[in-house]
Each structure stands twice: as structure tokens, then as C-alpha cells.
Amino acid sequence: MIPSYQALYSLPSPPSPVIFETGPFVLRYYGLFVVLGIVIGTWITSRELARRSYDGALAIESLFFVIPLGLAGARLYHVATDYDQYGDRIAKIFFFWFGGWGIYGAVAGGFLGVLLFSRYRGVNALAFADAAAPGLALGQAIGRWGNYFNQELFGRPSDLPWAIRIAPENRIAPIGPTWFADATSFHPTFFYESMWDLLVCLVLLWVARRFSERLKAGDIFVLYVSLYSVGRFCVETLRIDPAFIIGTSFRGNLLVSGVLAVGFALILILRHHRTPRSHPDPD
């Protein structure tokens, strides 16, 4: 008899998050996929800039502004939303190499970097953000696979054929009293988010070309935030890790993603809302 939530068929997780280790040097899959996401995302951004008659090399130059501020924003978001982990030891806040990142903070910090870089180079910041949005989504899709090798960011127990097996030592205590001791396989929420991010990238590229004559500068970036947040909201309903909890059990990222999904969709609609012209009464 199969225990509850144990799938007949499920996907295995890798035995180790480490690719190579010698002395103090450790190469991890997580870092590899993050770097790969940045490289491919920058390449997409370069092509989108060239399509908009900008110098594609600006994408590489912008990394000196975008990456430091993006990393700082990601860390600040994590610390602000999980401050209980750092209240007893403030110095841990600066140990960024031990992980703890928030994608919304990364996007906010990266956007600030785009604003500063655009001012420095004299380019339209919103047009630059539009060019970067598809690459950002694709970079996120690639980077999420680092979570697979870390055996993290999985969801509730599942017996679906694509459920992922998680070793007991890597299971995060879920919200609530249940430990799911009888479970062996879980929703691969990192995979769901990765596939959604890939779809968002394709949609953004299609919209940018199909409606190029009707779009305003900044529309593609606004659409990215809204679409990504829709997918993130859905994924958050499945996740069980205790990240950004409001009260006793409410996931704060549900609130953040819900507000951003609706808010940025309204911004996009209002940007293209046309008020009917009033016609003078006939004599």
C-alpha cells in the first residue's frame, strides 16, 4: 500500500548542489544557473535594444549599474520580509553569500539601476526597461533551476507524475502543525514558476512586435510586472516554506504579487484609456 502523498512515479532530485569543490573554492549549480540567466538575459536585452535602434552594447554596460543594485534590492527585500532571522545577529544581514534573496527587491533595485544608467548614458529609461523585460523573464526562468539542485522552493505534497522527491533533510517545516512525515514527493513549484517565466518572455517578445505601433515606452515592462505577478500569486498558493509570513500563516508574497498583478494591469489600461471627446451641441 502506497503511503499518503507518495507518488508511484516522481522526478528525482540531484544528490548534491555542488558541481566542483577544491579547498575553499566551491562551484554550485545555483550560482551557475544565476550566471547563465544573467548572460542569456543580457543577450536578449542586447537584441531588443538593437531592434529599437539603440546600441546593443548598452546591455553589457548597464550590468555595472543593474547587478549591484539588483543584488542589494534582493537582499533588502529578503531581510525586510524575514527579519526574524536576523534580529539576534544584525551582522548576518551582510552575509549575502549564504542566500536569502527576494525577486521583487531585485526587480526594484535593478530598475533603479536602469534609471541611473539611462541618465548617465542619455537614453530613454522606459524604452531601456522595455528592452530588458523579456530577458529578465527568461533569466528568471533559467535561474529557478538552481532551486532544483538545492532541493528548495517546493510546494505541498503531491502524488502527480511530475511531483519531485525531496530528501528528508531538505524538507522545510511547513506552515501549521503538520510535518508531512508520510510524504515523499511534492509540487515542483520552482518548475511551475520557471515555465511561467518562459511563457512571459515569449508573450512580451510577441506583444513588442505585434503591437509596436501602439505601445508607449514602458508598456512592456509594466506588462512584465503584471504577468509575472499573476504566475507568482498562483505559485505562492502551493508553496509551504515559511518565507514572508504575515500573522500566523498568511503568505505575504500573496499580497504583494496580487497587488502588483492588478495594479500594473490597471496602469497599462489607464495608459491607453482614451477619454471620448465631447462634441458641441448643434445650434
Report the 3 state secondary structure along the chain. Answer: CCCCCCCCCCECCCCCCEEEEECCEEEEHHHHHHHHHHHHHHHHHHHHHHHCCCCCCHHHHHHHHHHHHHHHHHHHHHHHHCHHHCCCCHHHHHCHHHCCCCHHHHHHHHHHHHHHHHHHHCCCHHHHHHHHHHHHHHHHHHHCHHHHHHCCCCECECCCCCCEECCHHHCCCCCCCCCCCCCCEECCHHHHHHHHHHHHHHHHHHHHHHCCCCCCCCHHHHHHHHHHHHHHHHHHCCECCCCCEECCCEEHHHHHHHHHHHHHHHHHHHHCCCCCCCCCCCC
pLDDT, greater one: 223 or 24: 223
| pLDDT value, residue 94 | 59
Is residue 141 within 8 Å of residue 165, measured between CB atoms? no
Average pLDDT over residues 114-132: 97
The residues spanned by each domain of the chain are 18-271
Average pLDDT over residues 212-223: 96
Residue 28 pLDDT more than 80?
A: yes
Residues 130, 58: Cα–Cα separation, whole Å: 14
Amino acid letter for position 146: G
Residues 85, 80: Cα–Cα separation, whole Å: 10
Residues 267, 66: Cα–Cα separation, whole Å: 24
Residues 109, 160: Cα–Cα separation, whole Å: 37
pLDDT tens-digit series, residues 38-92: 999 999 999 999 999 999 999 999 999 999 999 999 988 888 887 666 655 555 5
Residues 188, 162: Cα–Cα separation, whole Å: 8
| pLDDT value, residue 88 | 57
| pLDDT value, residue 214 | 94
Average pLDDT over residues 119-133: 97
Strand pairing partners for 27? 20
Q: How confident is the model at residue 170 (pLDDT cuts 50, 70, 90)?
A: confident
| pLDDT value, residue 177 | 46
Average pLDDT over residues 99-113: 89
pLDDT tens-digit series, residues 224-247: 999 999 999 999 999 987 777 787
Residues 146, 194: Cα–Cα separation, whole Å: 11
| pLDDT value, residue 1 | 38
Does pTM top 0.95 for this prediction? Answer: no
| pLDDT value, residue 90 | 58
- Tell me what the pLDDT averaged over the chain comes to: 86
Average pLDDT over residues 149-158: 89
User: Other C-beta atoms within 10 Å of 3: how many?
Assistant: 10
| pLDDT value, residue 282 | 53
